[in-house]
Amino acid sequence: MFEIDPCREAFRTLEKREASKVPPELVSLRRTAFSRFTELGFPTPREEEWKYTNVSPLLKHQFKFSIEQPANGLTAEEIHSFRLSGLAGAQLVFVNGLFSPKLSHTGELPSGVKAASLSEALIHDPGLVRPELARTAPYGRNGFTALNTAFIHDGAFIHLSRGSGCEKPIHLVFITQTPSGPLISQPRNLIVLEAGSRAAVIESYYFLDGKAYLTNAVTEIVLKEDASLDYYKVQREDARNGFHVATTGVRQDRNSRFFSFSISLGAKLEREDLNVLLGAEGSECTLNGLYLVSDGQHIDHHTVIDHLKPQGTSHQLYKGILKGKSHAVFNGKVFVREDARKSDAEQVNKNLLLSDEAGVDTKPQLEISNDDVKCTHGAAVGQLDEDALFYLKSRGLDDENSRDLLTHGFAADVINRARIDAVRMELDRELWAWLQNDHLAGETK
Amino acid sequence: MKKAEELINQEYKYGFVTEIEADTVPPGLNQDVIRLISSKKKEPPFMLEWRLKAYERWLTMKEPTWPKVHHPPIDYQKIIYYSAPKQKKSLSSLEEVDTELLKTFEKLGIPLEEQKRLSGVAVDAVFDSVSVATTFKEKLKELGIIFCSFSEAVQEHPDLIRKYLGSVVPANDNYYAALNSAVFSDGSFCFVPKGVRCPMELSTYFRINSADTGQFERTLIVAEEGSSVSYLEGCTAPIRDKNQLHAAVVELVALEGARIKYSTIQNWYAGDKEGKGGIFNFVTKRGKCAGRNSKISWTQVETGAAITWKYPSVILQGDNSVGEFYSVALTHNYQQADTGTKMIHIGKNTKSTILSKGIAAGHGSNSYRGLVKVLQKAAQARNYTQCDSLLLGDRSSANTFPYIEVRNRSARVEHEATTSKISEDQLFYCRSRGITGENAVSMIVNGFCKEVFKNLPMEFAVEATKLMNVSLEGAIA
pLDDT of residue B380: 93
Residue A215, Cα to own-chain centre: how many angstroms? 11
Residue B360 above 60 pLDDT? yes
Answer whether residue A293 is part of any domain: no
What range does the domain containing A92 cover? 4-278
Q: pLDDT class for A189, splitting at 50, 70, 90?
A: very high
Chain B's closest residue to A322, CA to CA, is B409
Last residue of a domain, one of A278, A300, A319: A278
For B151-173, how does the pLDDT look when each residue is reduced to its tens digit (9 = 90+)? 889 999 999 999 999 999 999 89
Among A251-255, A412-416, B35-39, where is mean pLDDT lowest?
Answer: B35-39
pLDDT of residue B229: 94
Are residue A86 and residue A204 in the same domain, yes or no? Answer: yes
Answer whether residue A330 is part of any domain: no
Residue B130 above 80 pLDDT? no
Domain ranges of chain B: 4-472
pLDDT of residue B345: 97
> Please, what sign has the CA dihedral across residues B21, B26, B27, B32?
negative
pLDDT of residue B94: 53
What ipTM was reported for this prediction?
A: 0.85
Put simply, whether A385 touches B (Cβ < 8 Å) is: no
pLDDT of residue B210: 43
Residue B11 above 80 pLDDT? no
pLDDT of residue A20: 75
Put simply, whether B377 touches A (Cβ < 8 Å) is: no
Q: pLDDT class for B240, splitting at 50, 70, 90?
A: low
pLDDT of residue A441: 45
Question: What whole-number distance in Å separates Cα of residue A116 and Cα of residue A101?
Answer: 9
Question: What whole-number distance in Å separates Cα of residue B182 and Cα of residue B34?
Answer: 7
Q: What is the mean pLDDT of residues B322-330?
A: 94
3-class state of residue B352 by DSSP = strand
DSSP state of B68: S
Among B9-23, B72-86, B424-438, where is mean pLDDT lowest?
Answer: B9-23
Question: What whole-number distance in Å separates Cα of residue A381 and Cα of residue B148?
Answer: 44
Q: Do B400 and A365 touch (CB under 8 A)?
A: yes
pLDDT of residue A290: 97
Q: What is the mean pLDDT of residues B426-454?
A: 88
Q: What is the mean pLDDT of residues A279-283?
A: 95
Mean of the per-residue pLDDT values for chain A?
91
pLDDT of residue B2: 43
Question: What whole-number distance in Å separates Cα of residue B297 and Cα of residue B354?
Answer: 10
Q: Do B406 and A341 touch (CB under 8 A)?
A: no
pLDDT of residue A239: 92
Q: What is the mean pLDDT of residues B114-132?
A: 44
For A20-37, how does the pLDDT look when each residue is reduced to its tens digit (9 = 90+)? 778 888 999 999 999 999
Q: pLDDT class for B135, splitting at 50, 70, 90?
A: low
Angle of the A4-18 helix axis to the A24-40 helix axis, nearest 10: 180
Residue A162 above 60 pLDDT? yes
pLDDT of residue B99: 61
Are residue A139 and residue A262 in the same domain, yes or no? Answer: yes
Nearest chain A CA: its distance from B271 CA (Å): 21
Among B181-190, B207-216, B385-394, B453-462, where is mean pLDDT lowest?
Answer: B207-216
> Please, what sign has the CA dihedral across residues A316, A277, A345, B471?
positive
Mean of the per-residue pLDDT values for chain B?
81
Element (H, E) at A196: none
**For chain B, percent of residues with pLDDT exceeding 90:** 41
Q: What is the mean pLDDT of residues A148-165?
A: 94
Residues of B in contact with A340 (CB under 8 A): none
Question: What whole-number distance in Å separates Cα of residue B332 and Cα of residue B362?
Answer: 5
Cβ atoms of A144 and A176 within 8 Å: the answer is no
Question: What whole-number distance in Å separates Cα of residue B345 and Cα of residue B58?
Answer: 28
User: Among candidates A278, A232, A275, which has minimal Cα distance to A252?
Assistant: A278
Nearest chain B CA: its distance from A341 CA (Å): 9
Residue A287 above 90 pLDDT? yes
Nearest chain B CA: its distance from A361 CA (Å): 4
Among A394-398, B41-45, B420-424, where is mean pLDDT lowest?
Answer: B420-424
pLDDT of residue B170: 92
Which of B396, B397, B404 is facing A363, going by the closest CB pair? Answer: B404
Q: What is the mean pLDDT of residues B56-82?
A: 86
Q: What is the mean pLDDT of residues A199-204?
A: 96
Residue B335 above 80 pLDDT? yes
Residue A360 above 90 pLDDT? yes
For B245-255, how does the pLDDT look when each residue is reduced to its tens digit (9 = 90+)? 888 999 999 99
Which of B399, B418, B421 is facing A371, going by the closest CB pair? Answer: B421
pLDDT of residue A443: 39
Q: What is the mean pLDDT of residues B234-259?
A: 78
Q: Domain count of chain A?
A: 2
Q: What pTM did the predictor assign?
A: 0.86
Residues of A in contact with B398 (CB under 8 A): 366, 368
Q: What is the mean pLDDT of residues A102-111?
A: 88
Chain A's closest residue to B363, CA to CA, is A369
User: Among candidates A181, A176, A174, which has minimal Cα distance to A218?
Assistant: A174
Are residue A83 and residue A232 in the same domain, yes or no? Answer: yes
Question: What whole-number distance in Å separates Cα of residue A376 and Cα of residue A25?
Answer: 43
DSSP state of A48: G
Residues of B in contact with A353 (CB under 8 A): 406, 408-409, 411
Nearest chain B CA: its distance from A413 CA (Å): 18
